[in-house]
């Protein structure tokens, strides 16, 4: 059994850890409010733009002569996965779940005979994937210096992806990220970016039988809108991931604080029992000594 001094040191150490986890929980809670508001504010615009893209695509049709980001290359041999994770840990299974679904997608594509390339956004995802998928990672984007996500970061990522697409580096690009549902639930998902397709839950515009005349024309409008749509989807995924990270961190730190409290109670009980046993032993020794005299 540990000595009383060791138990006191252990209790002090756990209390210090509990203070840290409590502070991290409070910081995450404060950041979560801002991140959640930003993620929720981006959804209506992203959904409406997706609906516009979907309606324009239906009008112009997908095929030869259409915008490259919409019509695709006509092949699906090379897939690019853009994996969005957090830059820091201590957020439960948030990063692990995203990497897990990325690995499952990679395994599915390779089983179908496809070539996979990876762009990682976020240190944790890069660190995890480079252990067994390092040869597939063609670029890592570091956002550690970014305090507030904006269209600038999504535009830089979007430009890298479109440049690779124009160079013929891949045929299909997909985002792997976690959609923020609530503080307890962050849903990892895969969303196709190129060729651009409107999400299934995108609102449909009811033209009510009206016929619209586009100026200059649908194809040219799509050429201008598709890069913006791509950047919007990336920004939305980044904001969803930021909110999910803070929600997961707040939950993880809350659990850690509770576990530290339980451990302190257990250690205090062990300490009191050991102290009582030591006092009893000393009393027995004193009484035995007195009787011997």
Catalytic annotation present for 208? no
Query: How deeply is 152 buried, as exposed, middle or buried, from its count of CB atoms within 10 A (0-12, 13-18, 19+)?
Result: exposed
SS3 28: helix
Q: Which of 7, 57, 70, 91 is catalytic?
A: 91
DSSP state for residue 145 in the 8-state scheme: T
Task: Give the containing element (helix H, strand E) for 105.
Answer: helix 94-111
Secondary structure of residue 194 in the 3-state scheme: strand
The span from the CA of 198 to the CA of 116, in Å, is 23
The three-state secondary structure class of 94 is helix
CA atoms 144, 155, 199, 195: torsion sign: negative
**C-alpha to C-alpha distance for 202 and 292, rounded to whole angstroms:** 91
| Positions marked catalytic | 91
């Amino acid at each position: 059994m540990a000595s009383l001094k060791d138990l006191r040191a252990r209790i002090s150490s756990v209390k210090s850890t509990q203070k840290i986890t409590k502070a991290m929980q409070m910081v995450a809670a404060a950041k979560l409010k801002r991140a959640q508001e930003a993620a929720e504010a981006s959804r209506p615009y992203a959904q409406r733009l997706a609906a516009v893209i979907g309606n324009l695509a239906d009008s112009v049709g997908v095929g030869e002569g259409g915008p490259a980001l919409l019509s695709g290359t006509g092949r699906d041999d090379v897939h690019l996965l853009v994996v969005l994770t957090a830059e820091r840990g201590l957020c439960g299974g948030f990063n692990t779940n995203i990497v897990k679904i990325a690995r499952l997608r990679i395994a599915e594509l390779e089983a179908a005979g496809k070539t996979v390339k990876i762009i990682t956004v976020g240190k944790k995802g890069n660190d995890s994937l480079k252990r067994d998928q390092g040869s597939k990672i063609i670029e890592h984007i570091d956002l550690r210096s970014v305090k507030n996500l904006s269209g600038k970061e999504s535009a830089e990522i979007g430009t890298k992806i479109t440049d690779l697409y124009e160079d013929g580096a891949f045929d299909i690009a997909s985002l792997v990220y976690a959609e923020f549902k609530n503080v307890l639930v962050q849903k990892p998902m895969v969303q196709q970016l190129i060729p651009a397709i409107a999400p299934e839950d995108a609102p449909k515009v009811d033209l009510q039988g009206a016929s619209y005349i586009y100026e200059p024309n649908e194809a040219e409008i799509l050429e201008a809108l598709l890069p913006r749509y791509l950047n919007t989807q990336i920004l939305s995924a980044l904001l969803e991931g930021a909110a999910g990270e803070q929600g997961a961190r707040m939950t993880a730190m809350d659990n850690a604080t509770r576990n530290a409290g339980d451990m302190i109670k257990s250690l205090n009980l062990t300490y009191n029992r050991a102290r009582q046993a030591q006092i009893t032993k000393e009393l027995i020794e004193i009484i035995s000594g007195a009787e011997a005299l």
